[in-house]
Structure 1
Amino acid sequence: MPSSLPSDRHMGFSSAETVGRILTFLLWKFWKLCGAAVLFLILIYWMYGTVIILILLIVTVIGGLYHYQDSLLYFPEQPESSRVFVQTPSSLGLPFELVTLTAKDKTSIVAYFIKQPPTAMSTAPTLLYFHGNAGNIGHRLHNAQALYHHCGFNVLLVEYRGYGKSHGSPCESGLYQDAQASWDFLLSRHDIDQSKLIIFGRSLGGAVAIHLAASLGHNDHLMALIVENTFCGIPHMAQLMFPGATAIPHIFFKNQFLSISEIRKVRSPALLLSGLADQLIPPTMMSDLYQNCGSRVKLIETFPGGTHNCTWTSFGYYDYINKFVGFTSHTGGGKTDSDEPELN
């Protein structure tokens, strides 16, 4: 007599078949979904792939340039052997003290402190010297020698981090720290007249000098700021060299040195020395810095034949410095109603 109920074998086969159908259905749905997703991605890439690649290329280039900018600005190894050999002041018969300074971030830098004879050292003005973006302090000794003999200054020649025998690597914030450490060193010296401190900078050093003077504001120790052939800022120089750089926001510049903004905060008497034959930094930038300088006592002197690196050899160069420093000394730090002193 046939059974009215299916056997266990048939029930098992039926259940397996049902599960198989369900799995097949789900796999088919999943495949269609994946296929649609892949098709969508291919369509997006076909429509916008070039744009995506272009964006990735631009980001890569900007990122590379951002990290490569130091190599475009700082040249501590030019000329060759600049990190190996640094001429000393004694080679020019200048009495000096080799100084080691420690910046806020613990970076160790060196400096030459060229000192007037003991009878004059304590009363002479002391000039804090920041050089340009290449070479080392030994390459500035002839200029320092003239400042020593013709102007009667004590001179502190500062070697930036990553230059000469100084440790570390150069960067904007690091150079500012080096400048502050140098200033603090002068304030620790009781064998000089701390009311006669002068901050001097040429080219890149001008930006460092302006930043330091701006950070000091009204300061009884700062007698004068002197800058020579310096720029308004790195973005401004980039715009000059690459017209398309005008559209690049400042945030993309690793080093900015925005002296055009910093100089508005300067309150000490300021002398700007501009070589009109400068082929590297347009003399118009020196004029812009002069116009924006926040000091009530400021003066710009021009030298028709002065080039970027050799304006200091121009006729009358040291006479202008002496007259300006003498003027600020006789007016108690330049406290006068006149905005521009007359140096006759």
Structure 2
Amino acid sequence: MATGSARLLLKGFASAGLALTLLLQTGCSSVFFYPDKVTYITPDRLNLEYDDVLLDTTDGEKLHGWWLPADAAESDPKGTVYFLHGNAQNISSHLMNVAWLPEKGYNVFLIDYRGYGRSTGAPDIEGTLHDSEAGLRWLMEQSQTNDRPIYLLGQSLGGALGIALASEWVQRQEKPPLEGVILDGTFSGFRSIAQEKLGSFWLTWPFQIPLSRTITDDYEGVDHISRISPVPVMVIHSVRDGIIPFHHGEALYEAANEPKQFLPTDTPHAATFVIPAYKEAVLGFMEGSPE
């Protein structure tokens, strides 16, 4: 009879085998998306004014977002930040990353991709790219953004989506233009990070190349980030990021064209804005002053 430890080990092998079977059958694009429907916190709990936003995509999904106006104490908002969140949970769990901006004079708009939070559908790479553009187009139509700078802030997965979106927006000369793009803890490409993660686990190591090839390489950030120029880009990455290694941020910065800034940080993944100095660096970037 197997011991308790042996049973746990066998169970682990079985689970890993099932995961590998699913990856071989379906490809591994699903590893990028871990949505849920839980409401962790709402803006009012943080004493923030907000409006619920529902917008329709051209392929029939309905997306939910929050509009956070700049603090009423600010007579004239400095601009608007469009926030694209990471791959897990939903906007309510990522809210703290931007909750500090209204007090600094910035409107904030954040959306959930399809399948996340109150948004309909199921996520995939093409769909979430579509959603990120739908959110930006909604934002550009709002009177509150007229004649005010608009910045894109993408964190982790949101940064990868943001690179694809911003590069196309700039190349198509869409109006109004983006004033800056901020990428926080972003991987250098969908296929490249998939291969790296698959190669780090013994069971999937032999399959890292064929499995990663099931993911499109049309949206590798290192291939597109240069096309955001002349819009300024700020790349933020932590030397202690245990999810997306530091070399991804270095690769994105190296591939970007001027004007660009690199902010090395020292926090866990997606925890940049717990440090006041990093907030100030981002404000300096948006307001056009050097770090």
Q: TM-score category by the smaller chain?
A: 0.7 to 0.9
Please give the root-mean-square deviation of Cα atoms over the aligned residues, in Å.
2.4
Q: Which amino acid aligns with 2:223?
A: S
Higher gyration radius (CA): 1
Q: Which amino acid aligns with 1:308?
A: H
TM-score relative to the length of structure 1 = 0.70
Q: Residues 280-310 of structure 1: CA distance to partner in whole angstroms, max 9, x if unpaired?
A: 111111010011113x21000111x221121
Residues 143 and 74 (structure 1 numbering): CA distance in 2 closer, same or farther, change over 3 Å?
Answer: same
Given that residues 28 and 212 in structure 2 are in contact (C-alpha distance below 8 angstroms), is that contact kept between their aligned partners in structure 1?
no
1:270-309 equivalence runs, <5 A: 270-294=233-257, 296-303=258-265, 305-309=266-270
Q: Is contact 1:162–1:169 with CA below 8 Å preserved after alignment?
A: yes
1:200 corresponds in structure 2 to 153
Alignment of 1:145 onto 2:104:
no
Residues 7-26 of structure 1 aligned to structure 2 (within 5 Å): none
> Is the 8 Å Cα contact of residues 86 and 164 (structure 1) preserved in structure 2?
no
Alignment map for 1:175-254 (pairs within 5 Å) = 175-217=128-170, 218=173, 220-243=176-199, 244=206, 247-248=209-210, 251-253=213-215
Alpha carbons of 1:65 and 1:145: their partners in 2 closer, same or farther (altered >3 Å)?
same
Structure 2: where are the runs of 5+ without partners?
1-19, 200-205
Note if contact 1:74-1:170 (Cα within 8 Å) is conserved in structure 2.
yes
Q: Specify the code of the residue in structure 2 equivalent to 1:274.
A: H
Amino acid at match of 1:103: T
Asked whether 1:320 is paired with 2:273, we answer: no
Alpha-carbon distance in 1 for matches of 2:115, 2:50: 22
* Equivalent position of 2:7 in the other structure: none
- The one-letter amino acid paired with 2:279 is Y
The equivalent position to 1:167 in structure 2, one of 117, 120, 123, is: 120
**Letter in structure 2 aligned against 1:235:** R
Contact 1:172 1:255 in 2 (8 A): no
Distance 1:253 1:66, change over 3 A: farther
How far the C-alpha of 1:70 sits from its partner, in A, is 4.4
CA drift of 1:315 comes to 4.2
Q: Matched residues in 2 for 1:273 and 1:325: separation?
A: 14
Classify 1:236/1:62 alpha carbon distance in 2 versus 1 (closer, same or farther; 3 Å): farther
Aligned sequence identity (%): 25
> Structure 2: which amino acid aligns with 1:281?
I
Aligned to 1:102: 56
CA–CA separation in structure 2 for the residues paired with 1:165 and 1:260? 32
User: Mean Cα displacement is larger for which, 240-249 or 155-164?
Assistant: 240-249
Residue type of the partner of 1:271?
A: M
